[in-house]
Structure 1
Amino acid sequence: MTDTPLTILHNPPLSDAQCASIAALYRAVGWGVPGTMTELRDLYEFSSYTLLAQEGDLIVGLLRAESETAQTTWLAEVAVLPGFQAQGIGQRLMARFLADHPRRTLYTDATEGVEDFFLRHGIALRRPRVPGPRKADA
């Protein structure tokens, strides 16, 4: 982390630079890129809840969720750029998400190997779990 303060943005309209930064984060964590930049922008802007952790112009973390009913919300994705992991960014995103969704049933399709992160925050796991990203052959 640099000396630039971390900013958490809630449901922001996305600039082209933010879309490119989100796409880079997806690639860095092994998720690939969900289609074109227009499709990525639509994915975020039509989601019911998004958070972006931004340091300067760089998106270093994200969280996206969908409200399914007045009582139920699906946590679709949470990720932190590898060079910024283990610095509390994921914790900050989850704390904001939980504060914004009191008295709701929250669940996710947890990626294998990170179930404990979600369970610690009271997020139910839907089965089957989603396989983790595949590592490129060395």
Structure 2
Amino acid sequence: MHDTPLTILQNPPLSNAQCAAIAALYRAVGWGSPGTTAELRDLYEYSSYFLLALDGEQVVGLLRAESETAQTTWLAEIAVLPRLQLRGTGLALMARFLADHPDRTLYTDATEGVEEFFLRHGIALRRPRVPGPRKEDA
């Protein structure tokens, strides 16, 4: 990231450029293709909660969650561009998510190898864990 502060937007209407950036982020972290722009927009706009982390206008991270009951929320996904991981973007997204969901039971289907990140923030793990992203052969 450069000198501009990170901006976190909650449930913004998604532009086509933001949908394309989210799709690129999915591919960058090994999640494959999320489908068409319309399908991706529907996924996010029908989710009960999502955050976009922006560096300037560039989407560099995301978090998406679903409220299941008045007391329970499922953290569906959190991702940061690989070149910007371990620089605080994931922590900023998680801090905002936790602040916006006080006194709720939070859980996730943690990807193998990153369980500690969720446990450290008080997010329960639902079993079985989902496998980590598949790395494309170089």
Matched, 1:14 2:9: no
Question: 1:25 is matched with which residue?
Answer: 25
Q: Which residue of 2 is the match for residue 129 of structure 1?
A: 129
TM-score when normalising by structure 1? 0.98
- 2:80 alignment partner in structure 1: 80
What secondary structure sits across from 1:22 in the alignment? helix
Between the two proteins, the alignment pairs up a number of residues equal to: 138
Following TM superposition, by how much is the alpha carbon of 1:4 offset from its aligned partner in structure 2, in angstroms?
A: 2.1
Residues in 1 aligned to 2:135 and 2:18: alpha-carbon distance in whole angstroms: 25
**In structure 1, what is the equivalent of residue 45 of structure 2?**
45
Residue aligned with 1:66, SS: strand
Structure 2, unpaired ranges of 5+: none
Q: Percent identity?
A: 82
1:111 maps to which residue? 111
SS in 1 for 2:86: coil
Q: What's the TM-score, normalizing by structure 2?
A: 0.98
1:57 maps to 57
Q: Distance in 2 between matches of 1:22 and 1:116?
A: 25
Residues 93-112 of structure 1 mapped to structure 2, 5 A cutoff: 93-112=93-112
Paired letter, 2:35? G
Distance 2:136 2:28 in 1: 12
Match of 2:90 in 1: 90
Q: CA deviation at 1:3?
A: 1.6
Q: CA deviation at 1:137?
A: 2.2
Q: Which amino acid aligns with 2:122?
A: G
The letter of the residue matching 2:71 is: Q
- Which whole-Å deviations, capped at 9, do the CAs of 1:3-29 have from their partners, x for residues lacking one? 222100000000001001101100000
Unaligned stretches of 5+ in structure 1?
none
Q: Cα deviation per residue 1:82-137 (whole Å; 9 max; x = unaligned)?
A: 11111111001000100100110000000000000000000000000000011122
Amino acid at match of 1:50: F
Q: CA RMSD in A?
A: 0.7
What amino acid maps onto 1:31 in structure 2? W
